[in-house]
Chains A and B, each alone.
Chain A
Amino acid sequence: MEGIASVLWFSGGCEPPESRNWIFAGSCHSPSTPANSTLRDDCPFQPPPAVPRLPGPLGRVSGARPAASPPTPFPPAVSQASLLRLHHRFRALDRNKKGYLSRMDLQQIGALAVNPLGDRIIESFFPNGSQRVDFPGFVRVLAHFRPVEDEDTDQDPKKPEPLNSRRNKLHYAFQLYDLDRDGKISRHEMLQVLRLMVGVQVTEEQLENIADRTVQEADEDGDGAVSFLEFTKSLEKMDVEQKMSIRILK
């Protein structure tokens, strides 16, 4: 029930005009929104500030209401439906109804277990070593994978870049490599990723060779590491928007 409450809380907090994008595009920036404090989307990789616990009464009130009809603040149905589904999923993953997810909860997803990047993906939900992710944090990570729509492109330039922009998508991928968060993919980090992704039949020596080459290929300033800029450049031709979008997160 806490989970639902948090959705209601968020949705209730947002004022109508911009609220549609608020979680996904991160445009809920108006100072009047109480949610503002938790959603500083201009820097998507900051740890989410602790979500204020909901006072009991609100939880109870929301619990009385059917989950399918939260107040109204998400005008277009798609986004709201997605959010509800995500919340449903969040609750399903949240084993002990504790209101947040731990690494353990995510590790239990069977298909993720056989994903070579499973650990890194899970880790990306827990920025800066935090132990739990609440629903807004959960959605914020997933928001990177929202498909880019045409309407998103002609946004007010003053607004922060939406989480699903090309740059943010790339940055999200980049931080899967960049373990030490120094803004660069070192040779060692590249090697680690290669170890995860390449089958055992390739020898360690070959892997090191490949890592060297990969870094060398992308490295332009000669510092022996791949910066985010260089990373972006190497993927210039790719349709990242499409590669890193999941249709169901519309």
Chain B
Amino acid sequence: MQFLGGNRRKLRLADDQRNACYPHSLQFYLQPPSGNISLIEFENLAIDRVKLLKAVENLGVSYVKGSEQYQSKLEAELRKLKFSYRENLGDEYEPRRRDHISHFILRLAYCQSEELRRWFIQQEMDLLRFRFSILPKDKIQSFLKDSHLQFEAISDEDKTLREQDIMASSHSLGGVQLELESVYKIPFADALDLFRGRKVYLENGFAYVPLKDIVAIILNEFRTKLSKALALTARSLPAVQSDERLQPLLNHLSHSYTGQDYSTQGNVGKVSLDQIDSLSTKSFPPCMRQLHKALRENHHLRHGGRMQYGLFLKGIGLTLEQALQFWKQEFIRGKMDPDKFDKGYSYNIRHSFGKEGKRTDYTPYSCLKIILTNPPSQGDYHGCPFRHSDPELLRQKLQAYKIPPSGISQILDLVKGTHYHLACQKFFEMTHNVDDCGFSLSHPNQFFFESQRILSGGKDFKKESVQPETPQSKLSVQRSKDASSALASLNSSLEMDLEGLEELLQ
């Protein structure tokens, strides 16, 4: 429209249109973005959102979700990366637009495998939970309406009628006057997590949910919708990937986060057997240090210990030949017959290197796997000392490792709160004399890698940022992967890979 003074009018129209596009600081991402975007912006948005989600993950691991520190740090991160988070902050159009588009771009990268999807959904959910928690009450109803959620707040009369029953059902309403709280009426099947534990009042097929509990339901809805959307996206992916401009970016984004599970290292063969003893006291995490000590003392380890330690050694760079020599030497010291070793044990070692049977190149166990599966019994030395040792025994071990008493009590406190990985991180900080280990621990080989990095001044052991994946390793990665190793890789390789990405895009 070309009118006199039309410039001003045009701007105002655009403003209204812009506000109408993004009426809220948060959204369910129901509609994909439309319009044109430059390749550079496409790439930058993707990188920024990955940084954001990574920060969400780290903060969720380092602080209790919802605590003051968590909330303020997450808000700072969002502000820094210029994504939307809060209402009424002046011109919100740009941050909301960035949020919208970047989410959909990442769907393309993260729909490709089960682990990626799970990670993406988890961080997006945490992000949504945060944004919802700072949404002012009067904005909630309109947000719900715009998101097509069938949640209607019931009238005051309806509330009073059922006051006793609602108060008696909901744990989140401790002594609060019901008049002040909104209560929403939703179909019972939409409130599964609430009604199964009898945490909500049911009447005639509807759940009467107070505001505080609605959040859990909203998050569930979000998770279901996003999960379905990712499945759909995966199906249409081939069409997207055929676009030459997008292919390198999407490949890089997704493959970087599936490759790093410490099964293929750039440092294979860089460790010699005579270094192991000293490495075990300097750079091994306590779980592996304990296994090594037991092996040296008893000249034997049971199966659980052999698996956990053996795969770890493979991860730090031992070759098959070295591994065979290492185990055989030690077992022979225990008066084992060399032939018996060859017959009974060498097969298993070769098997775990992928040279026997179905030839799966097994990946070293992540912390989560060690903590959650195959707990040690009498005579076992595997497992996680922070999880599986008696607190008193753990104290003694830490004293033997020369950890100062203040450090020991901090570690034991973390153990009490079941924050085993944080306890191990604290152990790392104490033994390497650093205030902040600078990474989020989730894998024993990560501990080793980071330790070596510090001890060698950060020069050695630098992983290549774009690793050419051999067909065999890619296959084995997909076969024997578990979610946490993908997470481990996501954590520690992110900085590297972001640099790699940015190089790629220049």
- The answer to whether A binds B is no
Q: A residues touching B (Cβ–Cβ < 8 Å)?
A: none
Q: Which residues of B contact A (CB under 8 A)?
A: none
